Amino acid sequence: MSLSARRVLAEFVACGITHIVWLPDSEAGQMYRDIVDTPQLTLVPVAREGESIAIAAGLLVGGAKPIVQIQSTGFYESGDSTRGLAIDLGLPILLMLDYRGWKEDGPLTDSAAYFLEPTLDTWGIPHYLIVDDCEVDRISVAYREAQERGGPVAVLIGVEYE
């Protein structure tokens, strides 16, 4: 399994993404320099993940095409704005969620991991798992699905970016 930050960012660009609203974590921390070096993408750092959905909502209202890049723990922190904005207003926000504690084999032991997919399912948020470069086209699939369904769709990143 190998996931390149540059490959993921290229997929964002192909989707027409304009802004990445983010808070770094151990999985995505290496992506920072590559984001800054991608002129098509504007980085919007947040102080806490709970702001990220709301900022993305404002960007959408203004006509931009944002994604949110945070850890699964930050998604839990963002619960009220995911509910009150992304879901209730039907905002097509792509959530790039770093899947802390994900394992290919064996049971998930980190609550940040084993609550994630059941939570997304409960909230009716479709989700896709990515752990390798050959799966990166799922980002475009998820992005299109968000536009078509009029609501958030999540891409779960199971490994650290390279």
Applying CB under 8 A, the residues found at the interface with other proteins are: 18-19, 42, 44-48, 50-51, 53-64, 66, 80-81, 83-85, 88-89
Question: Would you say 22 or 102 has its CB closer to other proteins?
Answer: 22
The C-alpha angle with vertex 155 and arms to 154 and 158, in degrees rounded to 5, equals: 135
**What is the number of other CB atoms lying within 10 angstroms of the CB of residue 122?**
9
- Please, what is the minimum distance in Å from the beta carbon of residue 21 to other proteins? 8
- Please, what is the minimum distance in Å from the beta carbon of residue 50 to other proteins? 7
- Please, what is the minimum distance in Å from the beta carbon of residue 103 to other proteins? 32
- Please, what is the minimum distance in Å from the beta carbon of residue 99 to other proteins? 24
Question: Would you say 59 or 136 has its CB closer to other proteins?
Answer: 59
Q: Cα–Cα distance between 20 and 89 in angstroms, integer? A: 20
Q: Cα–Cα distance between 107 and 2 in angstroms, integer? A: 21
Question: Would you say 80 or 137 has its CB closer to other proteins?
Answer: 80
Q: What is the dihedral of CA 2, 7, 5, 32, to 10 degrees?
A: 180
Sheet with 19-22, side-by-side order of all strands: 42-45, 19-22, 66-71, 94-98, 153-157, 127-130
Question: Would you say 89 or 134 has its CB closer to other proteins?
Answer: 89
